[in-house]
Structure 1
Amino acid sequence: MDGSPRGLGDISAPARLAGPEEGFSTQELGLAARNHGLPLEAMRYDVTPPGLHYVLVHYDIPATDPEGWRLTVGGRVLRPLTLDMDALRARPAVTRRVTLECAGNGRARLAPRP
């Protein structure tokens, strides 16, 4: 690189818009229906009731075998951990008050659009 400024076109081409002949299938609409946001009236609760948190699924949900499934926490952690389904379910439930927001919120208003 010569250090000169680059424009957005040098980094990423504009997104392509689907044409009218490229409709969504019933299956695609069904998959998109899995995604939903928090209803505004639920903001009155200190803790979001189960089922009202936002859901955003980008990929297929894999079918897993509970007997062979493992959760592994590793990398830059003090104590690496591997749990099977029974060990995970045996852990105590904990409630934390946190704020979650979809990283895509507000992207439509960015200029230039990603």
Structure 2
Amino acid sequence: MPSYEDLVSLFEGEPIHSDADEPWPYTSATFRTTRAGYDIEVDVEPGYPVVRLRLRATSGSKLLDLDLQGVLSVGVERLHDHSPRELLRIDFPDDSPASTLWLRMKPDVAIVWSYNSMG
């Protein structure tokens, strides 16, 4: 389960909870932000291995809509080398063909998804 505070910091705002009467981590939450000309939306369901990632151009064009199943973990990473970056990291089990999905949020927006060769 991701750190709530890390996600709020990464998205620079409070999420929308599916059930306003239930606190995190007992209800799913939708985190939204706009970065570098893209609207980014991530639905996280703590307790379930499900994450939904949507990316649209601010003009409204839908670019990406992933309904990720079998998620092992979600986290936030901040790298402070020569080019500071903030990333959302989504990991999958070792026996899954999907490996790590990285959503870079700063300084620009990019998605990198690793694939495990199964043979």
Q: Which has the higher strand share?
A: 2
- Rg (Cα) greater in structure: 1
Report TM bin, short chain: under 0.3
When normalised by structure 1's length, the TM-score is 0.20
TM-score (norm 2): 0.19
